Structure 1
Amino acid sequence: MTITLSSVTLDPATGLKRDAARPAHLRNESYAERYDWDTLFYDVYRAGKHVVFQGPPFLNLLEPLRQSAPFKGAFGLPFFRARHFGEKKRGEIWLRSDASEIAINGPIGRYNIDVQPDMAESFAGRRVITTLSKDNDLRWIADWVRFHVRIHGADGVLFYDNRSTAYALEELQATLDEAAGPDVRAVAVSWPFAYGPQGGLAGAVNGVEADWDSDFCQTGSLQHARHRFLRHARSVLNVDVDELVLGTNGESIFAATEASRAGFTKFPGRWISGHTDHPVTRETCRHADFIYRDAVGDGGEDLTCPPKWCVVPGRGDRLRDSWSVHNLFGAKANLRLSDQFVYRHMRAISTSWKEQRWEGDAATDHGPRDEELGAAFAAAGLTTCEGPVLAEGARVLL
């Protein structure tokens, strides 16, 4: 299945560009290069009775949009045909329209846009894993799919590819199809947009950590997944390729979320060391090579990871809540962290795009074996670089 986006880049003739989301004195030397100055819309698509114009936060571009057709006069009385959502890195205009083509004309520029089809029925009733990835090895992606299909009963995969150069989208789609199997709907989406400047220490200026205020791409992919593809999904799990979810009692994360009162489960992560008992290389390693927890250093540092989540889309409120990387903003249940599920964050399954994570993979300093993880690898039929994982009494947990 080929997915087409109706992306729109600002016409340079307008002289417009997106304002920086971060004050000038807090922007480091890489900020300007990484920031998305000129994507107006990631995609323009149908969602039920609406056409959704979705991009990074519009910021200073919102007023020129409001003054341009077809939006001029649509935001207020008497009809309220258009509504803007700009909270938590969102940039969305929802316009009530049955048009298949839309011409934008005004201060924002002139653009003729094909409205892309509503794809919500393609994942209706399915338990879907979704993520954004760049250049993760195909063998990692395949094992990540197999794990969540066989351990948790996922029967949908929606995979956003952010400018990978190591393989073509067709190769990625073939990998997803093979790993998922014939009963799982798997779709790869090209998402070729600037990821955005880092926050925290990676975005620091003179030792002062930056806010995570300018990385719009991943939140954009999640909101896109939510509205164009997953509105009718049974439940949706958001985890990265280096993250594997396990329950404390063997229950499926999807089943638990669907049975929960809020239809939402937010859960912590735990680091898994790069140490192994057998030789591995960056070019051959797989998830199942790593089954030791990270060691706690002399300072007793916290080895937990930022939370991830699973949600029943039909119980959400598009007017109030926002899907983001570590949170479902606006939802009351976002305040609660589950003690029933913990994802394993595989330190060595990484391209080291954010920080160097492969160095020291052979270190002897590590914590205890994660026996639950080892059993899950065997139950999922995953292999190490040396061959299959075997565990007595291993079983698939559904």
Structure 2
Amino acid sequence: MRALVWHGKNDVRVDTVEDPAIVNPRDVIIKVTSTAICGSDLHLYHGVIPTLRAGDILGHEFMGEVVETGAKQKKLRKGDRVVVPFVIACGECFFCRKLQYSACDNSNPVDKADMSEMLFGHQMSGIFGYSHLTGGYAGGQAEYVRVPFADVGPIAVPDDLEDDKVLFLSDILPTGWMAAENCEIEEGDTVAVWGCGPIGLFAVQSAFLMGAHKVIAIDHYPHRLELARKFGAEIINFKDVDVHAALVEMTGGIGPDAVIDAVGMESHGMAPDNILDWAEQTVMLETDRPHALRQAIHACRKGGRVSIPGVYGGFVNHFPIGAVMEKGLTIRTGQTHVQKYLPRLLDMIREGRIDTTFLISHRLPLEEAREGYRLFDEEQNETTKVVLKPGMEAANGR
């Protein structure tokens, strides 16, 4: 089959690789009909996530048709059309029973889990196409993919909903939703969102659906800010104004009730602390650049809530723990418990309460995935989301 393979920093290619096969009786094989490039895939592309190896197949946002099932697979049948959560979960461990699927104890093979346990104190769950730290599973930017524990993860979708409307149930829609949920939004609240990429935009949309009175979106790409404005958000271009001063003014001197860091480990900008982060990262004194998180913590009101859906992978310096403690902030974060949210969000899509198609800027054949990564990395104002279509002819792209 054909698949998008990582060969090194900023080097991905579509190669011919072995077809996946059933390994465990709860597996299924999916023929991929749509797969997307996620903002967190750029961390892999840039080579800042550890344990990625040349030859790894990328991609954790995908959907398709079931073409083969394991002997103990009772939930799905051949021909079912499904969306697959990026988190792999067994459904039976202590954490899965608490609906904390992204903390699953059984989906990361023992030899892989040891690495994450060394870094984080406990093992991570498995994730598709996201390094050997998360299990080394082949990803979904491919023609076919093996899905473990398929009686827990995938959700069948009705034929009357086209791929574009439901594909983002795999990751970014539930991630944006959980980011807003972690804000514990109350009537009259103001929520500030750092980053108007896909997750940030879905967090804006979700915050309003949960009853936020005001949402303030922070970015520097005009098109992405305009998309946030269309949902009703007030906007801040961090290149034009002092973000902290603007937020103080927009909230009557109090600060946002809740803040969302949808940027993660590769903050950009020429702020002094971020320049220092670049230098320290270059000489391996830290792994992540948390400028946006620092800014969010400083801006959040006393007694407020900090939600972190943005991906962090290692260690940061100059963390404002004093501000967290002295202001009495609550921090909630984590990989998304996708399976927990799928039924409700699918219903909201069917009811027309949530729109996802606005985000798609490019539809490309899988064979043009390398160009898709370049666009998403280098032309972020115009490229809001790239969807890859295995089998699509190049002439039909975009």
Tell me whether the two structures share a fold, i.e. TM-score over 0.5: no
The structure having more radius of gyration, on CA atoms, is 1
Q: Structure 1 length normalisation: TM-score? A: 0.27
TM-score of the superposition, structure 2-length normalised? 0.27
Structure number with the higher strand fraction is 1
